[in-house]
Structures are given as C-alpha cells and as structure tokens.
Structure 1
Amino acid sequence: MNRDLPQRPEPLPAPTTDAHTHLLSTQEFSGLPVAELIERAAEVGVHRLVEVGCDLPSSRGAIEIAQNHPAVVACVAIHPNDAARAGDRLPAELDALEALVADEHVRGIGETGLDYYRTRDDEGKRLQKHSFAAHLAWAREHDLAVVVHDRDAHADILDVLDAEGVPDRFMMHCFSGDADFARQCLDRGAWLSFPGTVTFKPNHALREAFDLTPDDRLLVETDAPYLTPVPLRGRPNASYLMPWTVRFLAERRGADLAGFCRLLDDNATALFGGWGDDG
C-alpha cells in the first residue's frame, strides 16, 4: 500500500546525485516499485543514486538493483548495529559479505562504522569495531569508497580510522557533528554528506559544519525513507524529495542552483566513480 509519499517538488535545473539512499526500504514503506522510485527521482533532476546495504539481504538487493538500473550503484555492508547483534555469527556474516565485494556494481563499502545510540554495551562496541576494521580492509584491497555511519561515536570513529589507516576515499554519511568534528574529518580527507536534518531549525551546529565544508568535499543525501527535509519533516522520504535539501543548501551558500547541482554530481563521481548511464 502507498503510504502517502509527498508530492514531487519543483525539478532541479541541472542533474545531481543522491549520495545515500535505501530504495528497498523505501519500496517496502511506500509500496512503490523500485523502478518507479528511480523514475520519480530522475523527473526532478536526481538522475543518479547510491543504494546502500545494511546487511546481507539488502547488500545483495543493492547489487541486483544496480545490475538492472544503470542510474544506481551499490554499496555493501553489515551495519554496525547488525554487527553488534550478530554475536558469534559475525565472522560467518563477514565472510559472506566479503564474497559480494568484488562485484563490478559495488562502488563502496558501507554503511559501516560505529553506533553508540543503539549499542551501548562493551561487547557490542567491540564487535562494531571489529566489523568496521574488516570493512576498511576490503575497501583498501578493492580500491572502493567507504561509507561511514557515525552516531554518538565521533571520537572512536576517528580512532579506528587512524589505527586501521584512513581510506583514500570515504564519506561521513548523514554527517551529524559540529564544526570542530567536521574539521577533523576534513583533515583526514573525508567527504561530508548532509541529509534533510540540515534543514531542521534547531540544527545550527550542523549548518556551521556545512558552512566550512569545501565545495569539493560536499555531498547531499536523502537516507530515504528517513530524515525527510523541511517542509515535509515527519513524512516518509524518497530520493525524489532531495531537491528540498539541495535548494536549501545552495541558498545558504549563495550558490547558483544549477552549478551547485553539478558540483554535487561531480563530487559523487570523484568518490564512487562513474555510473552505468554516464555519458
């Protein structure tokens, strides 16, 4: 059943990329087929999407979507909370995930990282760090981008990155830190990806982090079906709603909207490589 997704916004004046979305979850929530969700995004100028896995089924699903839709590339991972819940099963799950990494449609490893909001026990944190390190190793071996999930774990994220070796290309998905943490990530070469939460009125610190992010390290994402931007906050999200966030940020930066769209598109290419429909 369609759960009343919002109407389409005004199309963007130039094509751009949703740097992090979950089409499978959006499909499950909305009842709309993946193909229609991709088409809706393209109709408003979001012509490319990064479909991100969080466990074995969704990682396999991300690859299948990318195989069938050239506008999509895949990322594969075991989400940190899933790593913590796996317990003794984690080594086997990591082995199974590693078998997916070499697929040609996989352009990133993630979302991986640390989440101390839902996982607070020491053993769960240990498993998350072990999983994060394994994902970082695969990214180095296969020259892939890393999509980092960080929730309430800023210091430990940096500690693991420094200990394991900072990846050549990595993005801080759904960036949630302040300006000081943004500088620490940028100093390590990160791309910072901003979701709809940057439009929420109380999030002044997040907007300050955006303000200091260089143009060539900036991405925008939906994390759909979550984190719907103002003025649709509280309703289900989808990639075709990303123009609300893009317009908000372009206006804040005083940037030409078409040029800002192309900038985000170029940055996604720099991080993930080309898409099947490029050119």
Structure 2
Amino acid sequence: MIWDTHAHLDDQDYEEDFQDVLSRMESAGISRVTNVGYDFASSKRSLRLAQNHDFIYAAIGIHPHNAEGVTNEVLDQLQDMAKQPKVLAWGEIGLDYYRDLSPRSLQKDIFVRQIELANQVGLPIIIHNRDAHQDVLEIVKAHPPKFGGVFHCYSGSWEMAKILLNIGFYLSFAGPVTFKNARHTVEVAKNAPLDRILVETDSPYLSPEPRRGKRNEPAYVREVVKKLAEIRELSLEDMAQQTMHNAEKLFGLT
C-alpha cells in the first residue's frame, strides 16, 4: 500500500484515459493520492476529484509561477476551501527562481501569506523550491509552519536537508531519485531519517526510470519506492509501509 503524496491528476494529459490511469494505480498497490493545486482553478479541480474518489485527497494553494495577480479575494476563497474535510494540505507554495514567471518579491510575499493562512486553518504545507534555496530557508525559519510540511521533489543538498529536518520538515522523493546522475538526491535519501521520507510522482511530470521522458502517473511511484528500498537496504514492502505511515502522520490521517 503506497501513498503518492503529490500528483496532478486534474491535468489535461489524463483526459482521454483517466479511468485507465486509476486502474493501473490500483493494480500497482497505490492506495492513496494527494492531488495538488497550483492556482485557484486547479485547487477547485483537486477538491472536486477528492470529493468524487475516496482514495484521492486534495491540497490547495498558489504556485510561485502564479503569484502575480493573486488577490485577497482569491486567498479568502482558498481559506474557505481549506476547511473542506478532503483537503489535507496547503500547496504547492514556495519559490521558483528558475523560470521566474512572477517577480521574486511577489513570490516571497504570496509564499509567506499562504504559510500564515495554512497556520490559521491547521494544515501542513507542501513546498515547491527551485533554485531558491537560501530565500526559502530564510522564509521557513522566519515563518515556520505550525502543522508541519514537506519539501516536494526534494532537490537540495544534504547540508540543506539537515537544516530542514531539524526544523521538522519531511522530504519527498520523486522520479529523479532513480536517475543515473542523481548523486546528491541519493545522498539525501540515504541519510534522511526513515520517518521523514515521503514518495510522490508529480504526475504527469518527472517519470522515473525506465519511463523517463514519458508521461508520469501514480502507478509509477512504485519505482520510487523500489529505488529508496534499494538505497536503504530494505524490502519494497517495508519502505512502502514506512512512507505510508509517514504520509498519514503528516496529513493527519493516523
């Protein structure tokens, strides 16, 4: 039983074969999925998916790419949405200095405001961090999440990971941990405490080996669990059970 803690099943890439994707997920032993919003519209879609499927849960929030144009009304509506029972987290939120699709100052402002909103409604946060390590660290130190959080598709160093672990964050691993050049990610996966590791696909992106470059889907998170089990010298079953327990603890479903 595996929990894919970060997917985007509302993406148009799944329009033609959505039910097949769900069937393959079930066959692969993926029993839960967190569908993660990145703007107001996708957050609404995530909630709708969660309400229509017992095994799907929702996260709602504004991705740094979409920080520009966010109004107080949008944030108020997200805060109301966050009170729905199937919403387990606020995200994905954070900073992205790789694409810089929104001004950095605005990214930081919307990031902080969403941490504060998550604290008000009692939800953990899901953080997107790309090429913004120092600023992300400064923000989470100054504005710590009261209900925990996870760095999704963790891509930073072991030195940064140690700081985040000390603050109380979980680290989530996706397809890149299976790549041949993933030396830094493997180092983190090898050294992080077992009770702080989550797994995800970030579907439809970041397919693991041997499907790299093709559309990703929740069934393939099994390859991530398999790789982590290999790194930690555990059985696939033990790693699946551990990451499931970790997700249950973070998302409050224990």
Is TM > 0.5 for Structure 1 vs Structure 2?
yes
For 1:187, the equivalent position in structure 2 comes to 166
After TM superposition, the structure 1 = structure 2 runs for residues 26-65 of structure 1, keeping only pairs within 5 Å, are 28-65=12-49
Structure 1 counterpart of 2:90, from 93, 97, 109: 109
- Does structure 2 retain, via aligned residues, the 8 Å contact 1:117–1:151? yes
Contact map agreement 1:101 1:138 (CA 8 A) in 2: no
Matched residue type, 1:37: V
Corresponding residue of 1:100: 81
Preserved contact between residue 24 and residue 34 of structure 1 (Cα < 8 Å) = no
Inter-partner Cα distance in structure 2 for 1:42 and 1:223: 17
Which position in structure 2 is the counterpart of 1:4?
A: none
Residue in structure 1 matched with residue 242 of structure 2 by the alignment: 263
Residue 120 of structure 2: aligned partner: 141
1:140-194 CA-to-partner distances (Å, cap 9, x unmatched) read 1121110011001111111111112343310001101111111111111110000
Which amino acid in 2 is paired with 1:96? Q
Q: Does 1:165 align with 2:151?
A: no
Q: Percent identity?
A: 35
Counterpart-to-counterpart distance in 2, 1:180 and 1:154: 11
Match for residue 227 of structure 1? 206
Q: Say which SS state the counterpart of residue 70 (structure 1) adopts.
A: coil
Return the match for 2:193 from 185, 190, 214.
214
Q: TM-score, normalised by structure 2?
A: 0.95
Residues 221 and 242 of structure 1 are in contact (CA less than 8 Å); yes or no, is this contact kept in structure 2? yes
The 1:273/1:166 distance shift into structure 2, 3 A limit, reads closer
Contact 2:59 2:87 in 1 (8 A): yes
Structure 1: how far apart are the matches of 2:127 and 2:112? 12
What is the CA distance between 1:35 and its match in structure 2? 4.0
Shift of 1:246: 1.1
Higher relative contact order (CA 8 A, sep 6+): 1
Equivalence for 2:50: 66
The equivalent position to 2:3 in structure 1, one of 6, 17, 33, is 17
